[in-house]
Structure formats: C-alpha cells, structure tokens
Amino acid sequence: MDVEGEMVEPVAEVFSRYAPGGVAIESVQGLAGRPAAETGVESPVRVTCYLKKNHEVEEVKQKLEENLWFLSRIRPLPKPVYRQVHEEDWANAWKDHFHPIKIGHNLLISPAWNRKNPDRRIQIIMDPGMAFGTGAHPSTRLCLELIEELLVGQLRLEDQLSFGNPAEGFDIYDIGCGSGILAIAALKLGASNAFCVDIDATAVESARENAHINAVADRMLVCEGSLREIQEMPSNPENKRLILVNILAPVLTDLLEQGLAGLVEKGSFLVMSGIIADQMDGIVKTAEQKGLFIREQRVSGDWVALCAQKGTVPK
C-alpha cells in the first residue's frame, strides 16, 4: 500500500507482525509527479509484504486490516491492495524497483545484487527489508547529506562559512538506528566509532548484519534500547559527538525532554530528521529551550532535517 512518509514505519510494523517473509519499503517514483488529489498521498512510499496463501490467510488478512483501521484513526490510510504472486517471486520481484542511489558528493547506496560503482563513490551496501533505512526516503537522504557535510564537507550558516571537521575526531551515536545506514555511512566517511540503539530487535539484528556486510562491525556497537542506553555507553573524551536521530517528530520531542540535548557537548552536533515541515517549529522551540541552536536546516518536499549545536546562534 502507498502511504505518506510519516506512516511508513507504523504500517511496516503492522505488516511485520503477519509477514514472516519480511517487509519491503520503496519510494514510489512513478507517483511522485502526480497530484496528491489523484494519488491520495503526499511523498508516497510503498510498503509491501508477502502473506503465505494457506488455510489461515483470510484470518491473517482480517487481523492485518483491523490493525490498519486503528492506525487510520491517527491518520487516514488507503485500503491494502492484494496481488497473488508465487512465493519464490516475492524474494526478487521488488528488487527491480531498488537501484543504486547517489547521495551528496561522495555516497552511493547500493543493493547487494548491484555493486557497480563507476564513479568510485563511497559505497554502502544496504538491502531493503524489515529494518527501515535504505536511502530512498527523504528523511534518510537529508541525514546522509548532513553527515557527509559535517564530516568531510562544509556547512553555511547565514554569511559565515564553517569547514567540515576531521571525521576521525568523531564518535557516532545513533538513536533509532533502523538498518544502521546512517552510522555505517559515517564510519565509511572516516568517523572513529558508532554506538547504535533501536527498540526493535529486528532492526538491531539487521544493523549488525549490515555492519558486517560493510566491513565496519569492529567499530559499530549495536544493542536494543533508546536514549538511556546511549547515555550509559562509553565515550572518548578526546572525540566529539555526532548524534543522529531519524525518527518521528513526537518521539524527537520526548527525547529532547528526556535529556537528548545533554549529549550535545561543545563542538558536537545533533542531526534530527523524520520531521514533517509543519512540525518543525515545535521541534526547534523545544531544542532551543534545552540549550541548543539550529545551525542548519534542510528541506526535501514535506520533510525537514535539522542540525543543532550547544549554545545560542553565533553573532
């Protein structure tokens, strides 16, 4: 089913309860140029799963639709569309829609079945699946762009130009890491270590597997948890922190209230994404109340990513 970006994770979580074969998440480029009145969604993302056809399938479909109905009380959802496919086709059919994605100046997100890299970019192998984060969604792309520029590029704040910092001087803290794509990208760009948490055990397993595939597992610690577990993790006093939170805006607000800003030491950065444009002012206000200022703001369609630092806006 094609849903708004804000509903991708809740819908995928519902699907995962009933689909042992996994959940695929992909950008619906074919719909992107059509008006919202026609498609029914803004910035559409397609969430797909495979239900095995057996004597229980009708009961499973009923339970799935009941859960989607409850979700639709929060935000309207289209009805799921069913199509009969052979089980062996499910594992490969959706791969036709996932191609290497160039991001920023240096990054290339590639599926394992297509590792061509003619431009010799920094390649991140990332297969779509149950854990969220393949680079296709705007919130992930915005995060990756900011990570690249913070570690090896440059950010502009009003009329001031601030050059990127040596990547090896940074430790990465990723809250709600999903597939691990953000931390993996940062490590491949040269960051020292990454500490990642997610409340979803499936995401933890996926992030660990992706760390191995990308040969960064020796520098990437992944465990089940959230802010508290990150707060308890070791830190190198000689390194600065790049803290990454690509998650829904209400959860971001809760994390800021619970002490997220306290992780942002002098010279460190907090990248926040997963924010719908009309939710941005609330996030900014809460961040400022917690002693942060917004250094950079990035927008892609309806989505916003923010880069924050400790203190007030420089004069």
DSSP codes joined into one string, 162-188? EEPPPGGGEEEEEES-TTSHHHHHHHH
Is 115 part of a structural domain of the chain?
no
What's the pLDDT at 91? 58
CATH code of 283's domain: 3.40.50.150
According to DSSP, the β-strands at 193-198 and 170-175 are parallel
Residues 140 and 92 placed together within one structural domain of the fold:
no
pLDDT reading at 145 higher than 90: yes
Residues 136 and 22 placed together within one structural domain of the fold:
no
Cα 237 from chain centroid (whole Å): 27
pLDDT bracket for residue 146 (50, 70, 90) = very high
Q: What digits encode the pLDDT tens for the residues 65-93? A: 999 998 888 788 999 998 887 665 655 65
Residues 91 and 166 placed together within one structural domain of the fold:
no
For residue 98 the two structure tokens come to: 């996932």
Number of domains in the chain: 2
Most confident of 56-70, 92-106, 301-315: 56-70
Average pLDDT in the 135-158 region? 77
Nearest to 42 by CA among 138, 131, 142: 138
Residues 30 and 146 placed together within one structural domain of the fold:
no
What's the pLDDT at 160? 45
> Which of 98-102, 108-112, 163-167 bottoms out in mean pLDDT, i.e. has the lowest?
163-167
Q: What digits encode the pLDDT tens for the residues 5-41? A: 667 778 887 887 887 666 776 665 443 333 333 333 3
Is 315 part of a structural domain of the chain?
no
pLDDT bracket for residue 213 (50, 70, 90) = very high
pLDDT bracket for residue 96 (50, 70, 90) = low
Is 111 part of a structural domain of the chain?
no
Average pLDDT value for the chain:
83
Residue 124 CA: distances (Å) to CA of 12, 127, 162, 207, 236: 23, 10, 27, 13, 26
pLDDT reading at 196 higher than 90: yes
pLDDT reading at 42 higher than 60: no
For residue 193 the two structure tokens come to: 């270590």
Is 105 part of a structural domain of the chain?
no
Residues 252 and 166 placed together within one structural domain of the fold:
yes
Residues 239 and 150 placed together within one structural domain of the fold:
yes
pLDDT reading at 109 higher than 60: yes
What's the pLDDT at 197? 96
Distance CA 86, CA 231 (A): 46
Residues 8 and 157 placed together within one structural domain of the fold:
no
Residues 142 and 276 placed together within one structural domain of the fold:
yes
The reported pTM is 0.75
Is 110 part of a structural domain of the chain?
no
What's the pLDDT at 47? 83
Q: How many CB atoms lie within 10 A of CB 118?
A: 7
Q: What digits encode the pLDDT tens for the residues 253-302? A: 999 999 999 999 988 999 999 898 889 999 999 999 999 999 999 998 88
Is 243 part of a structural domain of the chain?
yes
Residues 48 and 166 placed together within one structural domain of the fold:
no
Residues 158 and 207 placed together within one structural domain of the fold:
yes
Distance CA 29, CA 224 (A): 33
Domain that holds residue 75: 2-97
What's the pLDDT at 202? 81
What's the pLDDT at 221? 96
Percent of the chain with pLDDT over 70: 80
pLDDT reading at 215 higher than 90: yes
| Final residue before a domain boundary, out of 73, 97, 121 | 97
What's the pLDDT at 158? 36
For residue 107 the two structure tokens come to: 């990054």
Is 199 part of a structural domain of the chain?
yes
Is 253 part of a structural domain of the chain?
yes
What's the pLDDT at 112? 82
Residues 275 and 145 placed together within one structural domain of the fold:
yes
What's the pLDDT at 264? 94
Residues 150 and 278 placed together within one structural domain of the fold:
yes
